Amino acid sequence: MAVAFTFPGQGSQSVGMGKDLADAFPEARAVFEEVDEALGQKLSQIMWEGPEETLTLTANAQPALMAVSLAALRAMEARGFSLKDKVAYVAGHSLGEYSALAAAGMFSIADTARLLRIRGNAMQAAVPVGEGAMAAIIGLEQADVEAACAEAAQNSVCQIANDNGGGQLVISGAKAAVELAAKLCTEKGAKRALMLSVSAPFHSALMAPAAEAMREALAGVAKQAPVVPVVANVVVQPLSNPDEIVARLVEQVTGRVRWRETVEWFGANGVETMYEVGSGKVLSGLARRIDKEIATSAINTPADVEAAVAALA
């Protein structure tokens, strides 16, 4: 029975996340302290006390979500769990791919926190606020969404950013083009076309300056081969070579998050149980809509940690 560990992306953050882990497990608290020190900021205080609008800022949400995921994992490891021995694959949704790689030992927690702070700032700075947009398209075939994006883009940018599964696609690009594409999707029969409250057009070609920033940042950190292969967002293939993983992380900034295909790949390659490690249960919900044969479980409370350690013993 193969097991996959997955790590959530932006949108799974909430004020208070990780506090119960820090209170219950000294190993978890040490992770939050390490992230605070790496960033030179009491990020843990923002995570646990808010305000929500400060936590939601991309540059804060990204390292914060990683910290919760790694805190849960370190608590499991202190109770005898071994990722290398018990897990066949790791994967993460967008920023969650960095959490997956930290979990698998490719990057240190401190370096991952700094990388995600750079990533968040670079993504925010790539496009002036108000010039980009994203929209969720529900209940329309991918080919029809791609056609709407192409028609709306003209000489601008509009593309599919996330294929989340369960009939949910997210489009991203220049604001006017995304608004037009959303309207065209509705005309083509989408159940819903919802403009998202985001600060930048993530995973679109407009993020090219952020991709270059990440290429430079990733070149400067220490890397080890991950102890478990990562199923990379942009290629949906298990990777273990650090150089190739870094190239895909750079590509990921402007590329599509192929989450539906990732879960389908798990199912086709023997994964029977998928754990979501960190804040929230978004990935578990998506997985249930994509492949009902895969059992899903979230690990984000002390009770979850103890249950997962027992189940995977």
Active site positions, annotated: 94, 203
Give the bridge partners for 273, in sequence order: 3, 295
Report the alpha-carbon angle 201-205-209, nearest 5.
Answer: 85
Contacts of 30 (CB under 8 A, 6+ apart): 74
